[in-house]
Amino acid sequence: MKLTRLLAAVAATAALSAGFAAQAREYSVSTVLSDAFPWGQAAQKWAELVNERSEGRITLRVYPNAQLVAGDQTKEFSAMRSGLIDMAVGSTINWSPQVPELNLFSLPFLMKDNADLDAITQGEAGKLSFAAIEQRGIVPLAWGENGFREVSNSRKPVRAPADLAGLKIRVVGSPLFQDTFSALGANPTQMSWADAKPALTTGAVDGQENPLSVFDVARVDQVGQKYLTLWHYMADPLIFAVNQRVWKTLPEEDRELLRQAALDAGKWEVELSRSQQAKRLEDIRSRGVEVVELNDAERQAFVDATRSVHEKWAPKIGDKLLDAARSAIAKP
């Protein structure tokens, strides 16, 4: 009798262990930057929170440097939608070819500061942006941020559109960026970041545009970028998201766990990123970079020079979303 009970207990334990193993799951998470940058740290924080809160039952394995799409960050959204990637902490810029509404955040000089950005992402415009993503087979969970993008070059300080005339500026693979820099008189040159640093080193291109975190961590000043203009011409929010088919397989409690962990990781990363800006700028200046900060009149000249870009891209973004964004910014 005792042996029978013992065998039954062993069988029950084995069944429980098998059940736990069956429930334990690992998912891939794509990011473009590693955890040397706030972007990569956001994905890592999400993975840590999910692992901790699920008590190891759910593992998010982070794949940085766009390695799941062979370095082509603009293919990340499509790869996630097709199921090659389970989840991602992605950029509105990189996803905009598949979700045109996300070009909202790349409109030049739409937002002045973090308050404007928060008004958009945390309001009706943010909800509409998430709805546009969900319509394409991806479930968005939370916002993070890659920061406002600034412009640098190797030739001269930039205070007015005329200062950009003829400069070869490396830009990401988005037609909107081409239109923006063309409107400013520059010569935009599309290339990957892997190709950009050698091109900056040799002088094949004169400048580039990126958030301060990228300029700082990637030491862009070491490839001839001695002039940096803080013009906040656009912001690049990050989005924590899950493939829709993966999402549908999850029980409700796991969906809520993933969503809340994403919200918490996003909030943590936004605070981290913003808290580092002053120190990053101080370090960049200490390395001999000349930093230009535009006054209101100087900024307005850039606003005026890029109005045609807004007019061209408004139909692609949609009036409802644009109106919601502009209304949010206009509120005191």
Note the CATH architecture for domain 26-330: 3-Layer(aba) Sandwich (3.40)
Judge contact between 119 and 331, C-beta under 8 A: yes
Domain positions in the chain are 26-330
Interval 60-88: pLDDT, tens: 999 999 999 988 888 999 999 999 999 99
- Range in 69-78, 273-282, 286-295 with the lowest mean pLDDT: 69-78
How far apart (Å, rounded) are the C-alpha atoms in residues 180 and 185? 9
What's the pLDDT at 11? 43
State the DSSP string of 83-144: TS-SEEEEEHHHHTTT-GGGGGGGSTTS--SHHHHHHHHTSHHHHHHHHHHHTTTEEEEEEE
Interval 164-219: pLDDT, tens: 999 999 998 889 999 999 999 999 999 888 889 899 999 999 999 999 999 999 99
**DSSP, res 250:** S
Q: Place 310 in a pLDDT band, splitting at 50, 70 and 90.
A: very high
Given a cut of 60, whether residue 4 has pLDDT beyond it is no
